[in-house]
A = this chain, B = another copy of it.
Amino acid sequence: MWLDLSTGVNPWPWPIPGDLPGALWLRLPSRADEENLIAAAREAYAIPTGAEVVAASGTQSLIQWLPQLASDGPVAIVEPTYNEHAAAWRMGGHEVIACADFDELPQAVRYAVVVNPNNPDGRVISRAVLARVAAQLRERGGWLVVDEAFADIEPDVSVVELCADLPVVVLRSFGKFYGLAGLRLGFAVASQDIARRIALVLGPWPCSGPALSIGTAALGDRVWAGHTRVALQTQARKLDAVLSEAGFAIAGGTGLFRLARRADASEVHASLATKYIWCRRFDWADDLLRFGLPAGDGEPERLAAALGLLR
């Protein structure tokens, strides 16, 4: 039986009620269903007045559409990061300029993308820097995309408050923090103008009935969210302890995954795979591995044992 530590999905999902109304599957979602979800998202993500929220069947579908909505012009992407951003912008005909940070925004770019906190290293670019970049891009008629897929664990990192006044599109993933990646639900937060264009290209009924209902209930469950933040951070520290003991240096991460460095990371990856433990490696660094949280019965011990044998 595989222990899959290759994802950044919360292993302790929000508990879906056993008695979902059958009508959620049968009828097309209504406008009221969608409005209820948006209201819950506004509250959970502390969306300011003047910014709007658009729901989609997963953040990925928004990543696919944004470059199509954009006018011509290059995009700067802070890398290394989740590689679907660059793929989508290239497919949309944009030149992609990789950069290590936003200290100097390349002169040519009209758009910029940052995952914040970043995947896989957890690096956070400050709100002040992002506001400056967004203001520069506004001058050039472009936008800043801030993918906050992993911001739920550290809500203070979110820059949704910038969306009302600056051309900032914040992406929020539902499935990762709520542990329901199969549900397919994500959000874009942006000014009214940008949000309405996103809603138009998505078209009617982008989200399933169950996604609207479960999303509304889960986003409204602030007690669960509070407990879960603490539990994930605690578990992440336990994972750090296991990795450190196994000779890794913790190189970053978020409450949903840890990035760890060891010179022989490639061999560790291969060795863990022989023990049916799957973590993530990177083609741009042979000394790094990313581990999701082992959380089920005996999982941390299983990882520890598998790593212990390697020392």
A binding-site residues for B, Cβ under 8 Å: 4, 7, 9, 13, 16, 22-29, 57-58, 60-61, 63-64, 68, 84, 88, 91, 175, 179-184, 200-211, 214
Contacts and interface: CB of A to CB of B under 8 A. Distances in A.
Q: How many copies of this chain are found per oligomer?
A: 2
A61 B208 contact: no
Nearest to A22: B16
Contacts of A60: 203-206
Given A84-B203, A200-B91, A208-B211, A181 B63 contact: no
A218 to B, nearest CB: 11
Contacts of A175: 28
A261 B35 CA distance: 35
Contacts of A23: 182
A68 B67 CA distance: 12
Given A184-B208, A204-B60, A208-B184, A9 B25 contact: no
A220 to B, nearest CB: 18
Nearest to A24: B182
A307 to B, nearest CB: 24
A61 B26 contact: no
Contact of A182 (B27, B180, B202): B27
A84 B202 CA distance: 12
A183 B209 contact: yes
Given A68-B68, A200-B91, A201-B91, A57 B26 contact: no
Nearest to A197: B91
17 contacts: A7-B27, A7-B28, A9-B27, A16-B25, A25-B183, A26-B180, A57-B184, A57-B208, A58-B205, A61-B202, A64-B201, A84-B204, A88-B203, A182-B208, A184-B206, A184-B208, A208-B208
Contacts of A184: 57, 205-209
B25 A182 contact: yes
Contacts of A27: 4, 7, 9, 181-182
Contacts of A179: 26
Contacts of A61: 57, 61, 202-203, 206
Nearest to A13: B26
A259 to B, nearest CB: 20
A13 B205 CA distance: 19
A184 B209 CA distance: 8
A204 B83 CA distance: 12
B7 A25 contact: no
Given A64-B203, A201-B64, A180 B25 contact: yes
